[in-house]
Structure 1
């Protein structure tokens, strides 16, 4: 399904939207963990000519799934957080990226790896600047496979993939909706503001600021949930609409217990028009308490120039109505 959609997006996409976002990769054995540098020449020895689709994922400890709307990558950094480090030591933090080389025809010819090391710090950042040819592989596969590690017994507590790039949002309503669900499943609610209609964002911001000016207790509670206790009304006014919306959308993650949508799969069932808007019926497969549950959800798209963008979902509209 995704490959067909990607081909359509190449020809039916709106101008790209530059963005920086972070992805929490899947770590096979979970975190916190101590990870040592992989040894490629000990059993099981790294096979440079096993080109099976799953082979590199089997070798790597971390897999980051990239959103289908990602159309260009400017820079990628892998950020690893540690506890239990010795500041006086000369230990290092490292990453080993598993990828492949292609010939001039774009055919895979062998597997390969890319390594990077920096001085071990509480937060160590590895930017893949000198081997940015790998960005083409990641864009094609919409996946990154790598292993973070340290040269000491420091405990890895968090790993993030930070991407500077561009999103191409489809002008086809069904494909745009699929891009949105794919994005919130892989990246998260609190980075999805680019999918929302500016009118809805500015309206939500106006209502929140107005409520704070009136000392409304409900709006104070909502503000504290989304922005914390230290941010003032004036700080919110000065925020860009996209920054405001991304931070506000963190409420959805708090309500569900996860910043990413818990989706096993999803598909658009039908699309219909009403009052110059698009109503998209989406069937979602979710896993709750070990059971797979099917739910249907209707999202509404509203025209913005030559693009279709999301209206606020009902859970956020209820806040506007308070």
Structure 2
């Protein structure tokens, strides 16, 4: 079975004395509230029957700009000084965080630069441009992303906003699960997709501080299973290739979010490409929700490992819905 728990634990050992406090999370939630949507929680009788569990979908595809990333982007920009805002912000992103930074910058009145790898879905690139950000294209690898970002910093003095490995971003991301647990307080656990780790780390913080015996789980494409291997090995692992339909999950964990994930995530479950596509189609057809492949990874994990979730109340973070309709896999 392709799922992992840390070698030294069988479930979450996150304690209330580790990492950001509950009050810090509440402060961030209040700070970003004017700039974001409180997204709905959806259910499906059919998917409950199919999974054997009671599933509660946090619909972040209905967030502003179409993904949870808006939460982290607003949180990060809100924390900048006036001098930093005057110089603008820069990020590298395959799409959703770039859109989030572009839109957050527009509504908060600052300049945004976004480095985007070649091959980014057209719908995401077009959205970044439509929000007024300046886009720089680069090769589809981490070195190229970071090099282009540094060149912009050297030229403009812009502040770099990391898509996932920054505490203000992680805290902003946590607010999705905070809202979910406020609406469904007796969840047995929350499943979030994992790529760069910012959403999963935020989910871990929220379940620890606001859940009641509530686990945090990650879901990841088997084709890019670095988070799965990182949790198992106890150190950050990398991928030799990034060939997955879940384009938002191709990046790797970072030094800030990985310790949170180690302490707060019970298991990471891996799913195959065909399982991601099947779950995406289920969500489109049965719930009428337009979600991108990265969102479908969470449902795919629950369906693949029924023995782990049967009879439980499970929250699933639908991370985004920015889909290139000309490239649908079904």
TM-score bracket relative to the smaller structure: under 0.3
TM-score by length of 2: 0.26
Q: Higher strand share goes to which structure?
A: 1
Q: Higher helix share goes to which structure?
A: 2
TM-score by length of 1: 0.27
Q: Which structure would you say has the larger Rg?
A: 1
